[in-house]
Structure formats: structure tokens, C-alpha cells
């Protein structure tokens, strides 16, 4: 059995920093090796969102929250989540991970 190869913390930082642009980029999330020996690297896309799009995501979040049963715990520590699927201008599908937790802004 061969020892696992690991990126040093500096290597992860350098890899992520190299993929960053001024308003978008990729961030390294995790990596693992499959049973067949293939390596999988998981990245998250980072993109600066416009105000209109952020409002749209907020609207979707409120719509999703309205469908939650009244006895479901929406406290942040319970981690309630929803997915919003969009298609960007280039035709790429995006899945947005939205928190359904109650926030201080919801109390206003």
C-alpha cells in the first residue's frame, strides 16, 4: 500500500489563489482518490453576484421557506437548506445552496 499524497496547506492556498479572478474564480474544496485509483478534485465556483440576482435568490429562498412545515425547526443550528437551480447566460446549469435558517434580518 502506497502512502497517500497530500497537498500542503500552502499548496492548497497557491492552487486556489491561482484560479481567482477579480470577480470570479474557483476555490478548492476537497480531493479524494477513488477505488480504481482515479483522483477527484472538488472545486466551488466563486462569482460576484449582481444586486438583481441576489434579490432573485432571496425571493426563491423566501418561497422555499414558505413551503416548510410549521413544526420544522428553522434555527441556524439545525442547518435547513434548499437548492435553487438556474441556467446562466452561457447555458450552464448552476445549483445554489440556500440557507433557510431564520436570520436577524428576518426579524425586522
Going residue by residue through the chain (108 aa), what tens digit of pLDDT does each one get?
Answer: 444 555 555 555 555 555 666 666 777 788 889 999 999 888 877 777 889 888 888 888 889 889 988 888 888 888 888 888 888 888 888 888 888 887 655 543
Q: Mean pLDDT in the chain? A: 77
Do 66 and 95 lie in one domain? The reply is yes
| Phi, psi at 107, each rounded to 5° | -80, -15
- Written in H, E and C, the secondary structure of 19-43 is CECCCEEEEEEEEEECCCCCEEEEE
Query: Do residues 36 and 59 share a domain?
Result: no
Whether the Cβ atoms of residue 101 and residue 78 lie closer than 8 Å to each other: yes
Residue 27 lies in a domain: yes
Its domain, for residue 99, covers 51-107
- Asked whether residue 61 falls in the same domain as residue 103, the answer is yes
The verdict on 36 and 55 lying in the same domain is: no
Same domain, 59 and 81: yes
**38/64 same-domain check:** no
Contacts 24+ apart (CB under 8 A), 53-59: 57/84, 57/96, 57/98
Amino acid at each position: 500500500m502506497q502512502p497517500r499524497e497530500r497537498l500542503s496547506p500552502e499548496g492548497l492556498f497557491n492552487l486556489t489563489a491561482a484560479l481567482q479572478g477579480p470577480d470570479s474564480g474557483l476555490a478548492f474544496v476537497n480531493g479524494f482518490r477513488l477505488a480504481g485509483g482515479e483522483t477527484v478534485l472538488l472545486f466551488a465556483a466563486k462569482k460576484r453576484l449582481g444586486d438583481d440576482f441576489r434579490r432573485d435568490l432571496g425571493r426563491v429562498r423566501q418561497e422555499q421557506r414558505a413551503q416548510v412545515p410549521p413544526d420544522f425547526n428553522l434555527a441556524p443550528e439545525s442547518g435547513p437548506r434548499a437548492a435553487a437551480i438556474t441556467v446562466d447566460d452561457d447555458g450552464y446549469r448552476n445549483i445554489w445552496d440556500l440557507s433557510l435558517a431564520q436570520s436577524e434580518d428576518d426579524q425586522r
